[in-house]
Chains A and B, each alone.
Chain A
Amino acid sequence: MVKLAAKCILAGDPAVGKSALAQMFRNDGAHFQKNYTLTTGIELLVKAVSVPETSDSVEFFIFDSAGKDLFSEMLEKLWEQPNVLCLVYDVTNERSFNNCAKWLDKLRAQAVGVHIPGVLVGNKTDLVGRRVVEQKQAQEWAEKHGLEYCEMSVKEMKNFEAPFHILAKSFHQLYKEKVETFHSLA
């Protein structure tokens, strides 16, 4: 039984629903914040999830970042030594999808030479009529950039735990691979 700890960077454009996701996940779906309060700086939330089919778990230290800080240098300090990435966009906002490349570049620059497991998350699927980014398009982009993909509606409490389960699995897998490597050294 092992409890891993992962620094999880939660990133994406303003108002895509990052804080809504983080709050919902931490409170197990107890509360959806309808009014938008933009995040300034970073908010830290801690929550553990168990890894399916094992007795292991991953404790996430979620760094909920401010969307308006895409070009701020302060982020670089706060994002040091990341373990996993949760990159959110809004399926009704094309610009938020296009900016994912910039967010990803910024994260990868923090960890040159280290593989950072990541998931691209399309949020607000409840706004069916306003959707502009198609699932196929986003999924292909994610694949091309080595990210997992999922969609959710934090508002309808749909699938909001999926990103963290995906990340827990990937991070746990990384740990197992590393331990194999350590075994082969002696």
Chain B
Amino acid sequence: MRAADWCLSSAGAAVVLATSSDEQHPAENMADGSSETFWTTTGMFPQEFIIGFPKCVKISKVTIQCYLVQTLRIERSISKDPVDFEECIEKDLQHTEGQLQMEEFPLPDFQATYLRFIIKSAFDHFVSVHRVMAEGTAENT
């Protein structure tokens, strides 16, 4: 088994929902493997996005690179469709002036077909999410 980042469009992941859309900064930018491109929220909170995996994967660590995010909640689903989410973790992040927030969430191994990220509040009117990673191994099928 090899460790991998499942939140890459090149690995078959896709952002299936995002509550904000600016065509200059689309949600796909979170799954393109680059920290330079980003998705922006365009208004009131909460805001959320859902990333879908091509199959059920095992995850042990989730990482997010973002800016101005205050309260973040991560949920997972093991359904075929993006429904029946259950909470993995909720955390208040630190404000890092002029620097990306790099938040690692080591989690007990869990399975997921979808990950949902809910940005409940922020340090400003808008936030950016530059990259999301979910490290783990492929489930044997």
Contacts and interface: CB of A to CB of B under 8 A. Distances in A.
A17 B18 CA distance: 38
Interface residues of B, number: 26
B140 interface: no
A2 B125 contact: no
A7 interface: yes
Interface string B72-99: 0000000000000000000000000011
A133 interface: no
Given A6-B43, A186-B130, A83 B125 contact: yes
B4 to A, nearest CB: 23
A-side binding surface: helix, strand, loop or mixed? Answer: mixed
B126 A2 contact: no
Interface stretch (B5-13, B19-27, B53-61, B107-115): B19-27
Contacts of A114: 123-125
A82 B99 CA distance: 25
B128 interface: yes
A178 B44 contact: no
Contact of B38 (A113, A171, A174, A182): A182
Interface in A1-22: 1-7
Contacts, number: 65
Interface in A47-93: 59, 61, 81, 83
A150 to B, nearest CB: 22
B130 A61 contact: no
B27 to A, nearest CB: 13
B-side binding surface: helix, strand, loop or mixed? Answer: loop
Contacts of A174: 125-126
A2 B8 CA distance: 25
Contacts of A3: 21, 42
B42 A81 contact: no
A3 B20 CA distance: 8
B44 A179 contact: no
Contacts of B44: 5-7, 61, 81, 83
B45 interface: yes
17 contacts: A3-B42, A4-B42, A5-B42, A6-B44, A83-B125, A174-B125, A175-B42, A175-B125, A178-B124, A179-B25, A179-B40, A182-B38, A182-B67, A185-B99, A186-B35, A186-B37, A186-B100
Interface of B: 21-25, 34-38, 40, 42-45, 67, 98-100, 121, 123-126, 128, 130
Interface of A: 1-7, 59, 61, 81, 83, 113-114, 171, 174-175, 178-179, 181-182, 185-186
